[in-house]
Homo-oligomer: A and B are copies of this chain.
């Protein structure tokens, strides 16, 4: 009997929690924001829950309204490299920008991470939404979305080829004959493209996973196209079931159109959960967070997404955010979400800010462990998701609660592992390892 299709669950860890007011809860330790012990603890909780991976966002610029809340202030790559030493099995995903990195340096770092973590590294490729980043990287202005995605496609192609520049069996290690590597097992790229010139080969030998796993986030048309070409897992914000299903079907068909196997490209929406012993308790928990929100912060965020300044509006007036056709916005998919919400429901500005406070457009599930497991399985079995990026509102508490109460239900239902079966992230995700041997190479290129 073939095994039942399995859910994939990552913990997307944002300092002391995704919810903007998490830091103001009495139990939150402010020092955790930069404390490695906090992150080690989170990694261990996630590993105890047998999650596929821990996952960190990337923000190469100080967020505005820093005074209002903590942000992801540690470099995500450095953080997962440090966590590789204190975890054994769990995957390690860091977001990094194709707009503000160079492909050789990035390929080298992730290939090294794959070695030092023994096959647990993944890169979440993003093009960076925050235009303020440009001023930290000697760029006069943040490139527009199409330019960013064009660069991203060339970037990803180069990184894959750098990771492939070493055959699996290039290291010969012949001490007597005095041959350390077979130069025919190492391949130059000599790439000359619109954005980059990269000779290669990488100086890092082939890594345990063959290539680190590639995630992607960014759900606009060019974003979906990039994902379909290169990604092995896709992070997306999908609060509504039927839209999630449409996104899922759309991306899977694009994957097929690129000649790739849709079963090997996982679509993983974000999911924030408020868990209570009863539904009422769960709702009360969510309200505890919402009561601590600061309107200054919510208004700034709303403006960042929509381009509209609502700070002179009455918080108790009903609000309707116009669609993107009417205003310019660089955060297309998030704008669409806010527009959709305010068009299909009657909400005041205050209610909107409270609604956005938890998820920033991601799906929120509030309820008992059974209710939450039920909705997860419902999405999973109805063409909306291959799993989820869990985005705990407060850390460590919301992650602990999920691992303790929801994971066992998913395991009993037979949709989630009770033990890691493999040692690499590719194995957790059911992705094949790309193998290139000297014999399998379609061509022979000379090493330098």
**A interface with B by C-beta (< 8 Å):** 23-24, 26, 28, 30, 33-36, 39-40, 59-64, 66-71, 73-75, 77-79, 81-86, 100-102, 104-105, 108-109, 111-113, 115-118, 132, 135-140, 171, 173, 175, 178-183, 186, 195-205, 294, 447-448
Provide the residues of chain B in CB contact with A39, threshold 8 Å.
Answer: 116
Contact check, A68 vs B200: say whether CB atoms are below 8 A apart.
Answer: no
A109 to B112, CA, bound (A): 15
- List 9 extra interface pairs beyond A30-B180, A75-B109, A78-B116, CB under 8 A: A35-B115, A36-B115, A36-B117, A61-B203, A71-B203, A75-B108, A81-B81, A85-B85, A135-B199
A243 to B323, CA, bound (A): 72
Give the interface centre of A136, A173, A183, A195 by most chain B CB atoms within 10 Å. A136
A203 touches which one: B63, B79, B81 (CB < 8 A)? B63
- The 26 listed contacts between A and B (C-beta, < 8 Å) are A23-B180, A33-B205, A36-B84, A59-B203, A60-B104, A66-B183, A66-B447, A67-B180, A67-B181, A67-B182, A67-B183, A68-B180, A74-B112, A75-B112, A78-B113, A78-B116, A79-B116, A83-B85, A85-B85, A102-B137, A132-B199, A132-B448, A135-B197, A136-B199, A136-B200, A138-B198
What is the CB-to-nearest-CB distance from A218 to chain B, in angstroms, rounded to a whole number? 20
Q: Which 9 A-B pairs have the closest CB atoms?
A: A85-B85, A81-B81, A135-B199, A30-B173, A75-B112, A78-B112, A82-B116, A62-B203, A104-B136
Contact check, A104 vs B74: say whether CB atoms are below 8 A apart.
Answer: no
Contact check, B36 vs A138: say whether CB atoms are below 8 A apart.
Answer: no
Contact check, B178 vs A68: say whether CB atoms are below 8 A apart.
Answer: yes
Q: How many copies does the complex hold?
A: 2
Give the interface centre of A69, A100, A113, A180 by most chain B CB atoms within 10 Å. A180
Contact check, B61 vs A197: say whether CB atoms are below 8 A apart.
Answer: no
Contact check, A198 vs B135: say whether CB atoms are below 8 A apart.
Answer: yes
Contact check, A180 vs B69: say whether CB atoms are below 8 A apart.
Answer: yes
Give the interface centre of A59, A66, A84, A205 by most chain B CB atoms within 10 Å. A66
Contact check, B62 vs A117: say whether CB atoms are below 8 A apart.
Answer: no
A108 to B36, CA, bound (A): 16
